Structure 1
Amino acid sequence: MSKYNTWYHPYPINEAYTKRVAYFCMEYGIHQALKNYSGGLGYLAGSHMRSAYELRQNFIGIGVLWKFGYYDQVRNEDQTMRVLFQKRFYSYLENSGIAVTVMVHNHPVVIKALVLKPEIFGTVPIYFLTTDIPENDHLARTITHKLYDSELSARIAQSIVLGLGGAKVVEALGGTDVYHMNEGHALPLAFHLFDKYRDVNEVKKRMVFTTHTPEKAGNEEHDIEHLDRMGFFGNVPLEIAREITGMRGHMLDYTLSALRLSRVANGVSQLHGEVSRNMWYDNPGVCEIKSITNAQNPNYWTDPILKQALLENEDELLLQRKRELKKELFEEVADQTGKLFDPDVLTIVWARRFAGYKRADLLLRDIPRFLELISRPGQRVQVIWAGKPYPFHHEAIETWNKLVKFSYQRNDIAVLSGYELDLSRKMKHGADIWLNNPRRPREASGTSGMTAAMNGTINLSIQDGWIPEFARHGENSFLLPVIDTTLSEDAQDKLDHGNLMHILETEIIPMYYNDKQRWLRIMKQSMLDIVPEFSADRMADQYYKELYRL
């Protein structure tokens, strides 16, 4: 029998973190070799699992093992984007010996729990649930095939597997004190707890919730009767589910339901906490929404030579290492695009999930001005884009393809595919400027800029998400001024674009080429300011103090 079929950690629990916590998340960005994430939510969860391990917390992760991952971002013959779904096999995941059964659309579905052991990638134990086993029929096996499946009933079934199935796995492990839902995907968990205790206050006593986005797409709503037919509420009758969630209409709002069934919740930055309170506090029965700012794990993300050079105040080594890291990134550029970038040229990177509000193509709003900007004699600029659109979001894919086609014309512009952990790390290590230009205040956190700053890459950003807690213009970052967000999207884009270009033209580019000492000061100050405040160790500790211990 595996030791992982009971609540287990390979270390003595730190006395500061003795309360048992089971963390439910749809995706985990742990390692390049484990294709179980789509973007920022997964990266955040991965860093949390690493820091919980390093702090010796009494903490486990519950997730789903996606047979095809999210998808592989590959290219067509003309280098435009193609979506590839490829089966994955992971020999290092161990059978925990735990199997549970849930009902999906009145059909029994067996769920097997595989464990990612702590010694594999340096995380707390994470239990990955799969329905792709011989005990199930074909349809049941496909539930855990594709992360964020585009078919509605499959998506609902995935929530049932994570929430209801995950709760049963936790009980098989010996139970937990706290159930932490990271986003609303695992909401069926709450109905399982209600079925067990028959008291909504007993549910609230055990459940906490993190909301990650003000975006409608990230706050799911579905027909409540369809959810009931699918088995979303487990053994709880529909009328009781309506009563405890307050959902009297045709739709069930996952986020609002979670806020009504949790003891306490949090947004993922100070600003996002304010935005969330403004969004949800007008609804009766919601719990307190705190702010616990997202963070990333420095041991995973930071280049050790850069860190050593900073700590020892070795400026020459710092600059030399940064140039080496740029060259490593540019080898990837050459491999993918055939273009040879110059490590002595200022390099801007925009890399994140392709979503409309993130405005991947804002730099190109005025193409003649952009081309003049990057072509100044003696002050040239190189630009790299990367990011994975949702595989069925055709508008976002078209934006990616538009950038690819535009890049044909230039040797100093590149669009890279396969934006996963390894490429993300290369870009954060090798960039000079990390560009972040979402429409404010729609970026809840935006943690990629944190890991960029850990590696001497300077943020150029809209004042959204975590940035207002960190950035000081001209000291550790460059900031676009806050504009009137009541204006039309086009008017906002026009203003933000003008401010972005002005900062590049009058501050960033001249400083990079003409005032190396000031550039170095900003770079070092950014590295000094980012840790420990935006280390996942701080975040993991804060969750115990502010969410789990109440």
Structure 2
Amino acid sequence: MINPNTIFSYEFDPQYSKPVSYFSMEFAVDQALKIYSGGLGFLAGSHLRSAYELKQNLIGIGILWKYGYYDQERDGNARMKPSFIEKSYSFLKDTGIIFTVMVHNSPVHVKAWLLEPETFGSAPLFLLSTDLPENDDMSKSITNRLYDANEATRIAQSILLGTGGALLLEIIGRENTMYHMNEGHSLSLNFHLYSKLKNLDEVKKRVVFTTHTPETAGNESHSYAILNDMSFFCGLQIHEVYSLLGLSGDQLNYTLAALKFAGKANAVSKLHGEVSRDMWKGYEGICHITSITNAQNKKYWKDDVLEDAFVAHDDDLIINRKKELKRELFKLVADRTGKLFDENILTIVWARRFAGYKRADMLMYDWDRFIRLVSNTETPVQVIWAGKPYPEDYGAISLFNSIIDRVKALPNCTVLTGYELQLSALLKKGSDIWLNNPRMYREASGTSGMTAAMNGSINLSIPDGWIPEFAVDKVNSFIVEPAADQLSTEEKDRIEANRLLEYLEQHIIAMYYKDPINWVKIIRNGALDVSPAFESGRMVAEYYDIMYNRL
């Protein structure tokens, strides 16, 4: 048996000595470990890195995805093609731990692997796998793909993360821990704890919950019947679940149930906290929802030369280094797309998960106006898009491919595939403008703009998520005024697209080419303002202070 203390290569800081186990369906710790899809994983990776730097007694619990999320490639027409390629990681440690979890009333064998702290500079991370010869093909497939589209498989993945993670902690002697659910995927751990403790208040003393989805429909839910058939409730009958949580209806909403099990919960920005409290205010028996704004690990994301230049207020070095970083990005652009970009030209990047509400094509809302923008030879503009849709989100994939098709003939506009940690870093370091234009109140936090600011890319954003806590228009960012809340979605899209293009045409482009002193000042202000307020050292310290130590 593994001694839980031997998995740490450091002594804990006394203020962070309380044991915490952080459950997440995905972790973006390093490019080499492809077990993440997007923002949730980027956040979890930064959490583990900063926990390591602050010497916190925290471990991660996740899943070792055999095929990762998916590899984003291109088909013969240069459109997006999701590919599922088996991954292998020689740097993971075989713990020798194998145990069983009940799924669909049958035992499924689970193996635990360990990412040791010194490998990538992160808190220890246990990864669970069902890809074992002892399992049948269906059981093996549970850990094939992150966010599998099959409902039964998705539920089995949640059981593995929640119940399996809790069982692992008992095996290694770390059950005396605070259980932190990063999103509702690990909900089943609460039923496992209740089956042992027989007391909801005792579960509440041990569980905290972070919610990331600012709308009811976006939170995962499944029918009680299928959850019961899948052994999700750890021996409880459906009527007992109803009674325990004070719920009814045919569907169990993971977030609502987590809010009833947890002693404390948090949203991931101040604005998201307001939205979440309003969203769940009609339900009895839920815990208080505070807010701890997401953040990113600066040590991992920053460019050292730029960082020194920001601190020294060396504007010439900032300008020269940004051009060097743009050239590095543009080598990749040329290799991937055959288009030659110029480091002297204003470069706008839209890069994040592809989903309808994020409006990747808003810049193209008025196509003729967009063409005039990118065809102007006196004050030229280059635009890059990147991001991964869910592989079964055919609307988002269609949008991704339509942008590829529409910009194919434009020499200064392109779409890059393979949006993972490495490409994300290149885009942030090599862009001048980081464009963020979701529909208001739909982006819980949106952390990519934080790491963009750390690397001298100016946020051009709708004031959603974390942005209102950071941005001062024309001082450290550019802010697009949102349309009135009471308008229709179509009217909001039209107004905000117009305001975005107007801001670019009348202010941003002119400043880049005609007022470089103020341009660099905004870059520098953004880089200096974003840390430490939005550096994940602040965030993980707040979790101990606000969530773990106060329960």
Q: Partner residue of 1:163? A: 162
CA distance in 1, matches of 2:258, 2:205: 13
Maintained 8 Å contact 2:318/2:520: no
Give deviations 1:209-264, integer Å, cap 9, x for gaps. Answer: 00001145641111011100101111222222222222221110100000011000
Q: Partner residue of 1:206? A: 206
Where do residues 246-257 of structure 1 align in structure 2 (5 Å cutoff)?
246-257=246-257
Where do residues 104-503 of structure 1 align in structure 2 (5 Å cutoff)?
104-174=103-173, 175-216=175-216, 218-503=218-503
Give deviations 1:121-155, integer Å, cap 9, x for gaps. Answer: 00000000000011111110000000000000000
Change (3 A) 1:284 1:217: closer
Maintained 8 Å contact 1:22/1:176: no
Long gaps (5+) in structure 1: none
Q: SS in structure 2 opposite 1:390? A: coil
Q: SS in structure 2 opposite 1:236? A: coil
Maintained 8 Å contact 1:159/1:187: yes
CA distance in 1, matches of 2:54, 2:83: 38
CA distance in 2, matches of 1:474, 1:118: 41
CA drift of 1:98 comes to: 2.0
Maintained 8 Å contact 2:313/2:524: no
Q: Partner residue of 1:63? A: 62
CA distance in 1, matches of 2:163, 2:494: 47
CA drift of 1:428 comes to: 0.3
CA drift of 1:2 comes to: 5.5
CA drift of 1:538 comes to: 0.2
Q: SS in structure 2 opposite 1:486? A: coil
Maintained 8 Å contact 1:2/1:97: no
Where do residues 28-47 of structure 1 align in structure 2 (5 Å cutoff)?
28-47=27-46
Give deviations 1:492-531, integer Å, cap 9, x for gaps. Answer: 1001101101110111000000000000100000000000
RMSD of aligned Cα (Å) = 1.1
Maintained 8 Å contact 2:348/2:434: yes
**Matched letter for residue 357 of structure 1:** Y
Q: SS in structure 2 opposite 1:111? A: strand
CA distance in 2, matches of 1:507, 1:254: 45
CA drift of 1:486 comes to: 2.7
CA drift of 1:158 comes to: 0.3
Aligned length, in residue pairs: 549
Maintained 8 Å contact 1:7/1:173: no
CA drift of 1:485 comes to: 2.4
Query: 1:93 and 2:92 equivalent?
Result: yes
CA distance in 2, matches of 1:411, 1:20: 54
Maintained 8 Å contact 1:97/1:113: yes
What's the TM-score once normalised by structure 2's chain length? 0.98
CA distance in 2, matches of 1:217, 1:422: 32
CA distance in 1, matches of 2:2, 2:316: 51
Q: Partner residue of 1:533? A: 533
What's the TM-score once normalised by structure 1's chain length? 0.98
CA distance in 1, matches of 2:137, 2:259: 35
Maintained 8 Å contact 1:115/1:126: yes
Q: Partner residue of 2:523? A: 523
Give deviations 1:379-401, integer Å, cap 9, x for gaps. Answer: 00000000000001111000010
Where do residues 9-28 of structure 1 align in structure 2 (5 Å cutoff)?
9-28=8-27
**Matched letter for residue 317 of structure 1:** L
Change (3 A) 1:216 1:360: farther
CA distance in 1, matches of 2:235, 2:7: 30
**Matched letter for residue 531 of structure 1:** S
CA drift of 1:97 comes to: 2.4
Maintained 8 Å contact 2:215/2:279: no
CA distance in 2, matches of 1:530, 1:409: 37
CA distance in 1, matches of 2:182, 2:435: 27
Long gaps (5+) in structure 2: none
